[in-house]
């Protein structure tokens, strides 16, 4: 009888409410991009990412994922359409002032962590303050303003590496170094994190660690996350929504829990 009641409870239990997200922080309208006349890489992309949302961008090699991320921050001019990011709208490229405002609110993590190997972990994290003023010399651990060093230590605590603050960056494992790169990305308390294959050069355990870290940071600080991945388990598990690019167009845009194996096969099919 108890079993029957339990089963009834399960059947009648309301589904977990869908997460509620804030207003859009990234909007792409009919974004097109070509590097040369021969080929159009992004062929009219429409996309919205809302505050607090974690979006996984997937697609075959060369489908345009990195191009899309770079276009968002104005690293490459777009060839058509419009981008609105963190309240800044631009057609070709953001102005220098717009780019500076956007970068203040955005943290970046890439496949290769790009740490300065001979520098300490703390000094590498302080580098995340670039653009806040101060001389290059100030980015050394010894000369960094007190506030920056505190911010770097806070960020290192967030990624559970505070005890390594004084170690040389190259004394850490690859997974730890990537977590240092995450600390560097969050030192300015960004509203948005953009990560291009953040787990691609890590072993499965370290890769999951980094993805779990993103999830915790997003949950605890309301950060929005847009990341690319070739690991479909990561894409589904560590996002709220999966967006697939296929030959420069959005092929799929669906809550992660609804993405099927067939969707994934079709994404990478030809
Ligand atoms: N700076 C560039 N100049 C010219 N062509 C480029 C440039 N960057 C990328 N491309 C081309 O644009 C296409 C899309 O590249 P992109 O790096 O955006 O793909 P991707 O989806 O990130 O691929 P991957 O999964 O391999 O990282 C590729 O054909 C690439 O050769
Ligand atoms: Mg790429």
269 lies in the same domain as 194: yes
Would you say 93 and 198 are in contact if contact means Cβ atoms under 8 Å apart?
Answer: no
What's the CATH code of the domain at 232? 3.40.50.300
232 lies in the same domain as 244: yes
Give the number of domains in the chain.
2
178 lies in the same domain as 195: no
pLDDT tens for 152-200 read: 999 999 999 999 999 999 999 999 999 999 999 999 999 999 999 999 9
- Phi, psi at residue 38, to the nearest 5°? -75, -35
Q: Which domain holds residue 154?
A: 116-187
79 lies in the same domain as 142: no
pLDDT value of position 7: 54
Give the chain's end-to-end CA distance (angstroms, integer): 53
CA 202 to chain CA centroid, nearest Å: 16
- Among residues 95, 76, 94, the alpha carbon closest in space to that of 84 is found at 94
Nearest CA to ligand 1 atom 9: 67
Mutating to test ligand 1, I would choose from 66, 230, 234, 235 the residue with most ligand atoms within 8 A of its C-beta, which is: 66
Asked whether the whole model's pTM tops 0.85, one would answer yes
CA of 42 to the centre of ligand 1 (A): 10
pLDDT tens for 92-137 read: 999 999 999 999 899 999 888 789 999 999 999 998 887 665 555 5
174 lies in the same domain as 194: no
Would you say 74 and 108 are in contact if contact means Cβ atoms under 8 Å apart?
Answer: no
């Amino acid at each position: 009888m108890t079993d029957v009641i339990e089963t009834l409870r399960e059947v009648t239990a309301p589904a977990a409410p869908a997460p509620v997200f804030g207003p859009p922080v990234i909007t792409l309208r009919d974004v097109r991009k070509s590097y040369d006349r021969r080929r159009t890489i992004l062929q009219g992309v429409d996309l919205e990412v809302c505050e607090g949302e974690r979006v996984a961008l997937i697609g075959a090699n060369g489908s345009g994922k990195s191009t899309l991320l770079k276009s968002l921050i104005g690293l490459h001019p777009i060839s058509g359409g419009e981008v609105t990011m963190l309240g800044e709208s631009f057609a070709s490229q953001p102005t220098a002032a717009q780019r500076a405002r956007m970068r203040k609110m955005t943290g970046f993590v890439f496949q290769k962590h790009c740490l300065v190997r001979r520098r300490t972990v703390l000094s590498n994290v302080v580098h995340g303050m670039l653009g806040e003023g101060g001389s290059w010399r100030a980015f050394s651990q010894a000369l960094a303003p007190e506030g920056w060093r505190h911010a770097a230590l806070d960020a290192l605590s967030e990624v559970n590496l505070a005890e390594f603050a004084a170690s040389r960056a190259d004394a850490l494992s690859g997974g730890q170094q990537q977590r240092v790169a995450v600390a560097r990305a969050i030192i300015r308390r960004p509203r948005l994190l953009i990560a291009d294959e953040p787990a691609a050069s890590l072993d499965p355990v370290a890769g999951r660690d980094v993805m779990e870290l993103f999830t915790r940071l997003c949950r605890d600080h309301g950060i929005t996350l847009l990341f690319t991945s070739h690991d479909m388990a990561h894409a589904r598990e560590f996002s709220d929504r999966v967006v697939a690019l296929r030959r420069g167009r959005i092929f799929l845009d669906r809550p992660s829990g609804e993405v099927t194996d067939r969707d994934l096969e079709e994404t990478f099919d030809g």
